[in-house]
Structure 1
């Protein structure tokens, strides 16, 4: 069951290495890096968002049913944001890195790594519950998360302002909202258009990871030196977050499957989109790229441990 998840992680690392190689070539340069960043944010990720909502929800009834479960993952992620804010202040994280740091603490890679783990354990029947967590993760990242990244570059930006609204209503969030609207309206796009969206959305992850690899190459090996901020992110992502999930979910009386799916998705590595959006927002994209790479590598060891513990819960009798 672990093989699919591990292969997903190794695939991401391979794409990062491809980005490092591309950045080392003279034909790549700043123009190549800018192309990968802009195309991913403006075109590929919006198609990715639209397709995932449209394909997973399927019907208006299923989408509305998913909405009814959203408060739980919202609470998990909001508590993660609060934890990130608190640690950023107490540990005096530099202002230019705070947005990246808080995002890395609160948001996880739900689709590229999380969904394969969920499907390996529960089959396709587990994906609707996974989509619930994905919705909360997506909405909060493309609103609060993106706002915090812009605040790294411009401390004067406000969430409830015209400039703040512009940063929030980025193309990726619009893709998500359009996907939800299409499902709610029971509107079916022409086959040729859906085929084009499907092809473009498949480019989102490769381009994002190649961009991250190019950022790591530019930063050099010295960017991987252990630092306070990186160690705190690792501790939060792989130790404190699992405790937060259990603290919130256990009293809720959730089914064993739902609790375990939320647990898996909340404890995955940092989001791949964090590196791209940090660059677009003028935040510390080098620091974000290092976080994504390091947490993805650590997940090679963490995922089997989580899967083993979850299998023990599955085999135990009685309610979780």
Structure 2
């Protein structure tokens, strides 16, 4: 609870600093972004990924994050090309709408609605799904859509140079070969990892700006519509064929797929120059709006 209060305080700090005339808000946001990308994400990868024990039983809950991200890529990739939205808008929607806030928002919501029994399932979806995606496929999308001047031949090099991806590969190998993170590093990694929500919301605050044009933008509502309504509806339809609809696993899986857009996904989109204002609006306003849709999904799930 204390962490959530600090994180929300950082959001308001960013909003306040943005209004201070002499404060370099854009430069500060870029510095914090760099810290998140180059230090926090690799630290979290080293902290959590080696602890995942690969097994077939994990596939169904974990696969929901991958399924909804790939579906986002298919939907917005098609619509963007058909309607000539431009690569920046298309890439932003794929990444930000494709990734759900399965931890910062998801963990307390799942625990509040289903108790501590739901947390292990939420943790699997987050660490095996959302976190791996933000360190892999989101970087691929950002590399493809973020720089119009680059050829696709340069995309693999750009991905390999992106720090979280290298740590992801290394920690996945550690998980496969059951190599644990050295105990001496755990405390430091946990300390760094705890700064993620606060620093991410600070960036959102420093960049956040709301105006009528932004809120009424069709792209904003396309992104939220996909993330909060379409994605969980399709997950319900598809996963009910292979999971027990009355099980806790199914309910948590559907509800996690309907969380607001992931804050870290917005950070990745900003890092690649993919419509920063749209990215911040989707993750910033998405959280309070998702309170309504999550209540509806919870009621429908029973």
TM-score in terms of structure 1 length: 0.80
State the match for 1:317 in structure 2.
Answer: none
> Does the C-alpha gap of structure 1 residues 302 and 72 become closer, same or farther in structure 2, counting only changes over 3 Å?
closer
1:237 aligns with 2:240: no
Partner of 2:132: 139
The partner residue of 1:210 within 202, 212, 215 is 202
Q: In 2 relative to 1, CA 220–119 (structure 1 residues): closer, same or farther, beyond 3 Å?
A: closer
Q: Establish whether residue 289 from structure 1 lines up as the match of residue 284 from structure 2.
A: no
Count of matched residue pairs: 297
The structure-2 alpha-carbon separation of the partners of 1:278 and 1:76, relative to structure 1 and needing over 3 Å to count, comes to closer
How big is the shift at 1:269? 0.7
Aligned to 1:299: 290
> Matches of residues 178-189 of structure 1 in structure 2 within 5 Å?
178-189=170-181
Q: Is the 8 A contact 2:32 2:203 kept in 1?
A: yes
Partner of 1:49: 45
The structural deviation recorded for 1:43 is 0.2
User: Which runs of 5 or more structure 2 residues have no equivalent in the other structure?
Assistant: none
| Distance 1:223-1:46 versus aligned 2 partners, 3 A rule | farther
d(CA) in 2 for partners of 1:30, 1:74: 32
Are 1:150 and 1:283, in contact at CA under 8 Å, matched by a contact in 2?
A: no
Residues 246/188 of structure 1: CA separation in 2 closer, same or farther (3 Å cut): closer
Deviations 1:30-83 (A, max 9, x none): 43222101111100122123323345x3xxxx4334554344543343223212
Question: Once the 2 structures are TM-superposed, how far is the Cα of residue 254 of structure 1 from its aligned partner?
Answer: 4.1
Q: Find 2:261's aligned residue among 270, 290, 294.
A: 270
- What does residue 117 of structure 1 align with? 109
Q: Is the 8 A contact 1:146 1:168 kept in 2?
A: no
- For residues 191 and 99 of structure 1, do their structure 2 counterparts lie closer, same or farther at Cα, with a shift above 3 Å needed? same
Distance 1:168 1:84 in 2: 25
Q: Secondary structure at the match of 2:262?
A: coil
Question: Could you list the runs of 5+ residues in structure 1 that have no partner in the other structure?
Answer: 313-320
3-state SS, counterpart of residue 241 of structure 2? helix
1:315 maps to: none
Write out per-residue CA displacement over residues 236-276 of structure 1, whole angstroms, 9 at most, x where no aligned residue.
Answer: 12221122111210111346222111111111111101222
Secondary structure at 1:282's aligned position in 2?
Answer: coil
Q: Distance in 1 between matches of 2:139 and 2:280?
A: 16
| RMSD between superposed Cα atoms in Å | 2.9
Does the aligned pair in 2 maintain the 1:16–1:210 contact within 8 Å?
A: yes
Match of 1:251 in 2: 241
The answer as to 2:35 corresponding to 1:39 is yes
Corresponding residue number in structure 2 for 1:163? 155
User: CA 1:64/1:180 → structure 2, altered by over 3 Å: closer, same or farther?
Assistant: farther
